[in-house]
Amino acid sequence: MRIAPWPQNPHEPPGSIPVALIVAAVADEVRNLMNSLAAVNGFDPEQLKDLPREEALRSFVQQQLRPLHAHDDMSRYVRIFAWENVHPSKVLRKFITTNATPYLARAAELVRRFLPPDTSDTDAACAAIWLMGQCSIFVRNRDQFVQPPFNLKIDESFVEQLTDLVCGLALKGLARAA
């Protein structure tokens, strides 16, 4: 049985490694790293359920913002994925379909703790996506934010201040929805 070669994108130079193949490899690596995330840096999304809701929110936001100052493989892959999300490939869409559901469900469970009991699944999902979006804009545009006109000094102190800001805004917004 002959295995067909990976299809070449007409916009890529002949003989180059197709972007979709690179994204697939990164997706596999991220999946492996996500599986060991708790062991790597002490974050376990399942533990959010056991924390008081404000503490769980802060832990979640800190984890979302972690790639701003961390210099490990997971943070690099998250930054790559943040840019890939601007115009997702078929490979990324497939990865998100098969891997993001549990993560989105945990985020929705977290925001539900702040919302009225009769909040629809759609509203909870939108609130979770909004919360993640507040963080991803900083992760995706980190390199631009350290340059003029922003000139942000992104270090652990900045990330802590940003965590406080995002949590404060989220708490006010979620409380208002309740």
Sequence spans of domains, the chain: 19-40+52-177
At residue 40, the pLDDT reads: 45
Residue 118 has pLDDT above 80, yes or no: yes
Class of domain 19-40+52-177: mainly alpha
* Residue 137 CA, distance from chain mean position: 10
* Residue 1 CA, distance from chain mean position: 40
Closest Cα to residue 107, out of 158, 154, 168, 170? 170
Question: Can you tell me the distance from the alpha carbon of 57 to that of 54, in angstroms, rounded to the nearest whole number?
Answer: 5
Question: Can you tell me the distance from the alpha carbon of 18 to that of 30, in angstroms, rounded to the nearest whole number?
Answer: 19
Entry pTM = 0.74
- Looking at residue 113, its amino acid is R
* Residue 123 CA, distance from chain mean position: 19
Average of pLDDT values for 140-145? 93
Tens-place pLDDT, residues 43-101: 667 788 899 999 999 999 999 999 999 888 777 777 777 777 788 888 778 877 877 77
Tens-place pLDDT, residues 121-141: 999 999 999 999 999 999 999
Tens-place pLDDT, residues 8-54: 555 555 556 666 667 677 667 666 655 554 444 456 677 888 999 99
